[in-house]
Amino acid sequence: MSSSGRSAGPCLPEGDTIWRTAAALRQRIGGKVVSDARPHALARLRGRRLESVEPTGKHLVMQFEGGLALHSHMRMTGSWHLYRTGERWRQPERRATAVLTFDEVVAVCFAAPVMELVVDAGRPVAHLGPDILVDPFELDEVIRRARHSEAPTLGELLLEQRVCAGIGNIYKCEALWALRLDAWMPSANLDDERLRHLYLAARDLMRRNLLTPIARQRHAVHGRSGRPCPRCGTPIRIRAQGQQARLTYFCPRCQGEHLSAHPDRPQQGGREIFSNGRRSGSRRR
């Protein structure tokens, strides 16, 4: 999220970033009327008042008067920016997937892979699990969904938005480290009580960060490959995990107790990623 040229850091599409985005959009354009909307597919928003901005997981739903809603999903690339009319944009116009003009303010969404007008504002988020940041947190429902999930490992389970919406890669890594859990541990090996602790740890970390400016946030393992674990001093490691090859940062000493049970971790070497992003070793099997 960038607001009037002030950068809030790189787009990290975690649930807490979407909450910040929603709060900024609400504050600047909530209750205002769209005077222009581009591209052409969004032209029906012209003349409509923005009634609400609701984040769910990594989705953002902007409800306009007359029953029309704009659904955007940021995935890895998208971000909403707010500019004053005439202010220079921080990204080129060709990357804009939505441009909404409200008298002196322009809301621009860059590179969102999903941008659609919907009549039923609940539909785009109907499949999602309970939001990690919402009060009250529906933890029982999260655990119930987790037990039906096909995500094979804890690292993949935490990112499964159908189980619990809003946890991204950063808080996946941080919560697993906080509870000394191996990201490659089969989800079924963790009992309900420890699984509850894991989701609560992710929620606590994310809620704490809602109050901390992004530039001042510090992480224990995420983004710290090769640097010492804050708990034991062992160098933090990084590996790609699961079919999506999401990068998992972890302490091999604090979190390594299930090394033999890794379905997608090779026995020796392979798929290790160094801090420059280069993979070493041979692919498994």
Q: Which of 59/222 has CB closer to Zn ion?
A: 222
Q: Which of 113/235 has CB closer to Zn ion?
A: 235
**Residue 164 CA: distances (Å) to CA of 21, 137, 146, 160, 198:** 20, 10, 8, 7, 12
Q: Active site includes 14?
A: yes
Closest residue to Zn ion using C-beta atoms: 229
Strands (DSSP E) contained in 22-176 are: 36-38, 50-56, 59-64, 68-73, 79-84, 96-102, 105-110, 114-118
Polymer length of the chain: 285
Segments in the chain forming alpha helices (H): 15-29, 139-148, 154-159, 169-178, 192-210
Q: Which of 50/175 has CB closer to Zn ion?
A: 175
| β-bridge partners, 118 | 69
CA 77 to chain centre: 11
Nearest-approach distance from CB 230 to Zn ion, in angstroms: 8
**Residue corresponding to tokens 């499949």:** 127
Q: Active site includes 252?
A: no
- Contact residues: Zn ion, CB under 5 A: 229, 231-232, 234, 251, 253-254
Q: Active site includes 246?
A: yes
Q: Which of 14, 124, 203, 224 is catalytic?
A: 14
Nearest-approach distance from CB 173 to Zn ion, in angstroms: 13
Nearest-approach distance from CB 190 to Zn ion, in angstroms: 19
Nearest-approach distance from CB 43 to Zn ion, in angstroms: 54
Contact of 47 with 113, CB cutoff 8 Å:
no
Q: Which of 20, 58, 203, 224 is catalytic?
A: 58
Number of other CB atoms surrounding residue 272 within 10 Å: 16
Q: Which of 20, 145, 237, 246 is catalytic?
A: 246
Q: Active site includes 123?
A: no
Q: Which of 13, 55, 124, 130 is catalytic?
A: 13
- Enzyme catalytic residues: 13-14, 58, 246
